[in-house]
Amino acid sequence: MNAFFMIVQRDLLLVMRRKSEVLTALFFFVIVTSLFPLGIGADTALLRKIAPGVIWVSALLATLLGLQRLFASDYLDGTLEQMALSPRSFVVLVLGKITAHWLVCGLPLLILAPVIGLQFDLDTAALETLLLTLLLGTPVLSLIGSIGAALTLGLRGGGALMSLLVLPLYIPVLIFGAGAVYAKSVGLDVTGHFSLLGALLILALAFVPWVSAAALRIAIE
């Protein structure tokens, strides 16, 4: 557990030293979501309808931007080797890195989402649902994304390949995340959506750290 907190703390410290990389992803999220109301105009009914999808797709893409950095710098300067050779559990260290990525690239989206929601004229109930789906869904995005980041580590043009690998795997999260907000707005029951998102999160938490750690071991061999 110490190793987990240590690596989270270290990664957050590194982010603080180089804020621009993270802010890029967050501004990307804000700008892409703001372009839609500007492009479509003041048709509030239409905006309300497309809001969940637009916000979720932007969240997927913003997470993807940050993913390339997840293991790359540690790989390039040799720190990843040292982690694999440390007496600490490599899986725990990998999970710590994924958690730090979520804290930096996923959590801020939750904080920004209410402001973005205003642009789409979302009411409080829909906003609450959106926040809850983001809370359950963005950790899954970071977890699944880490597999892609680990598999494409050290490849030339790995960024594009990673997007191709990871985006299809994001589809279930997108469907249930955006679907819940839409269902709520038309008055349907959303517990099913939340259960499935929760199940995806638990499943990803249970398996992904091991898969990513194995992929990283192959990358540093």
Partner 1 sequence: MTAHTSSPPFATQSFQATDLTCVRGEQTLFANLSFTLTSGECLHVRGENGVGKTSLLRLLVGLAQPEQGQVTWNSSNIKNDYEAFHQGLCFLGHRDALKEDLSALENLMMYAALGAINLSYESALQYLWQFGLRGREDLPVHYLSAGQKKRVVLARIAMQGAPLWILDEPFNALDSQGMQGFIGLLENHSSQGGITVFTGHQDINILGLKVLEL
Site of interaction with partner 1 (CB under 8 A): 2-3, 6, 10, 13-14, 17-18, 76-79, 81-89, 220-221
Q: How far is the CB of 9 from partner 1 (least distance, A)?
A: 9
Pick 7 or 64: Cβ nearer partner 1: 7
Q: How far is the CB of 208 from partner 1 (least distance, A)?
A: 21
Q: How far is the CB of 97 from partner 1 (least distance, A)?
A: 13
Cα–Cα distances (Å) from 193 to 32, 181, 182, 205, in that order, read 25, 9, 11, 18
Pick 10 or 49: Cβ nearer partner 1: 10
Nearest partner of 193 among 203, 202, 204, 182, judged by Cα = 182
Pick 34 or 73: Cβ nearer partner 1: 73
Which residue blocks in 78-190 are alpha helix, DSSP H?
79-84, 90-105, 107-119, 124-151, 158-185
Our CA angle for 215, 100, 154, nearest 5°, is 35
Pick 30 or 91: Cβ nearer partner 1: 91
Q: How far is the CB of 20 from partner 1 (least distance, A)?
A: 12
State how far the Cα of 128 lies from the Cα of 96, in Å rounded to an integer: 28
